[in-house]
Homo-oligomer: A and B are copies of this chain.
Amino acid sequence: MSDTSNPDNAVKRVAEVISIGDEMTSGARLDTNSQWLSQRLGELGIEVAFHTTVADTLANNIDVFRTAARRVDLVVCTGGLGPTRDDLTREALAEAAGEPLEFRQQAMDHIESIFQNRKRPMSERNRLQAMFPRSSQMIPNPDGTAPGIDITIHPSVASEGDNLGDLSRHPCRVFSLPGVPAEMKPMFDASVAPAIMDMVGGGQVIRSLVMKFFGTGESDMESRLGEMISRDRMPRVGITVSAATISLRITAAGQSVDQCDSMLVDTKAEILTRVSDLYYGDGEQFEQYHAIDSMLQARKESLMVVELGYAAPLGDWFASLGETPAYRGGLSLATKTDLQEIAGADSFDEAILDFKSRFGADWLLLVSEYPQIRDDQIVGQKGCGLPMADVTLLVVSPDGRSQISATGVGGHPKILQSRIGKYAMQFLRRVVGEYRPVPID
């Protein structure tokens, strides 16, 4: 069924992550387990092809396990192992595997010991948590009552009675864990990850690297990268965009860390031959303000920011750098007139220089001005198109000279202000990079 499963390869590699619970299908709670599990599985060399979330209904739970068994080799599922009527995972797994549930004294002993440790009375319902499908193994849960379930569903059983046909030659191994992240995560690390390494043969190493870019759109980036982002390429290069920042994630799979890392280095170099003008650094969490911090620290210089108008993202971003000699502080005001009044200066230029000297900053970056965004633009219901803002960026260098950039910035109102802040940082990086102080005659 899945074009990613490879019947000629004995190593099983395609997985599905399943979350069980009304609170997620109804939208009351956000499922974060699936993201965490997908990251861990990726690190183990397992490709996650599907996430499924299902409400607490027995027939739908059985359906979801059968669907997974016909399209993937491996399932990690969370939730539905509690003692309440809503907890249907063990029953659904038994049905999907075509097996009865049986009582396990070993599980019961564990559950009773947990209640004794917590000095709380055990409800009769908790006996349910000691019921296991006949062929399954228990997954120990040191931090909670419900042990997990490790069971293999065979495709012939999975398709029984629902006319799905024999679409997969592989049995599907299911690891079922509790939904509480504080129990689920240690169980995955201690028991499920080692079992998966056993399944896939152990040896394969996965390494990845994230490169960050600002200054163009996703489709331009893609056309400049060309065949580098093809799915067949090894290492693979994936694009993601968040609030106008582009991330390229290079993922290499190989036999050793050294082999993977050398592939990463080569691919990074190749990417830089194509889009180095937009590149500012490496790391999922690495932003332009981190790049500016490094740049200024290396030069033993410092910065202050002045933000006029209806946002002040730079002040928050630069403050988040933590303790650094490269950032002095920020000021946010509505208008140039306010700036002049507060400085008690006769002109805008004088006000700017006054603040730069008060803050003891070598560089000053000013954004004039973040536009006012109306509620109907955020809701976007009027179909009025995206707003364009005319923004003036000003950088004052250590010698007191100013450089100005006037630019039109467009985009969705929700990210327009942060996009303006990002343009300002891009301009500052360029000016600092090209800066040559006035020679003293």
Q: Which residues from chain A sit less than 8 Å from chain B, CB to CB? A: 1-4, 19, 22-32, 34-42, 47-55, 57-60, 63-64, 67, 71, 82-86, 113-114, 117-120, 123, 125-126, 140, 142-144, 162-165, 167, 180, 182-183, 186, 189-190, 217-220, 222-223, 229-230, 238-240, 242, 249, 285, 307, 309-313, 315-316, 319-323, 327-334, 338, 341-342, 344, 358-360, 370, 372-375, 378-386, 388, 408, 410-415, 417
Task: Write the nearest CB–CB distance from A286 to chain B, whole angstroms.
Answer: 10
- A3 contacts B50, C-beta separation under 8 Å: no
Q: Which residues of B contact A218 (CB under 8 A)?
A: 82, 84
Q: Which residues of B contact A373 (CB under 8 A)?
A: 320, 322
Q: Which residues of B contact A123 (CB under 8 A)?
A: 219-220, 223
Task: Write the nearest CB–CB distance from A119 to chain B, whole angstroms.
Answer: 7
Q: Which residue on B lies nearest to A55, using beta carbons?
A: B49
Bound-state CA distance A27–B63 (Å) is: 24
Bound-state CA distance A32–B242 (Å) is: 13
Q: Which listed residue (B222, B319, B379) contacts A332, Cβ 8 A?
A: B319
Bound-state CA distance A86–B238 (Å) is: 10
Q: Which residues of B contact A164 (CB under 8 A)?
A: 163-165
- B49 contacts A54, C-beta separation under 8 Å: yes
Known: A55-B48, A57-B4, A312-B312. A83 touches B142 (CB 8 A): no
Q: Which residue on B lies nearest to A142, using beta carbons?
A: B383
Q: Which residue on B lies nearest to A249, using beta carbons?
A: B28
Q: Which residues of B contact A36 (CB under 8 A)?
A: 27
- B315 contacts A386, C-beta separation under 8 Å: no
Q: Which residues of B contact A329 (CB under 8 A)?
A: 331-334, 338, 342
- A25 contacts B38, C-beta separation under 8 Å: yes
Q: Which residue on B lies nearest to A379, using beta carbons?
A: B186
Task: Write the nearest CB–CB distance from A165 to chain B, whole angstroms.
Answer: 4
Known: A63-B2, A331-B331. A118 touches B320 (CB 8 A): no
Query: Could you list 6 further interchain pairs (A-B, Cβ under 8 angstroms) beyond the known A25-B51, A322-B374?
Result: A142-B385, A163-B164, A310-B319, A310-B320, A330-B332, A342-B359
Bound-state CA distance A327–B341 (Å) is: 15
Bound-state CA distance A162–B26 (Å) is: 30
- B63 contacts A48, C-beta separation under 8 Å: no
Between-chain CB contacts (< 8 Å), 12 pairs: A4-B59, A24-B51, A114-B385, A125-B223, A142-B382, A163-B165, A182-B380, A186-B379, A309-B319, A311-B320, A319-B334, A341-B360
- B85 contacts A229, C-beta separation under 8 Å: yes
Task: Write the nearest CB–CB distance from A416 to chain B, whole angstroms.
Answer: 10
- B117 contacts A385, C-beta separation under 8 Å: yes
Q: Which listed residue (B49, B320, B328) contacts A338, Cβ 8 A?
A: B328
Q: Which residues of B contact A34 (CB under 8 A)?
A: 27, 31, 53
Q: Which listed residue (B27, B41, B388, B415) contacts A35, Cβ 8 A?
A: B27
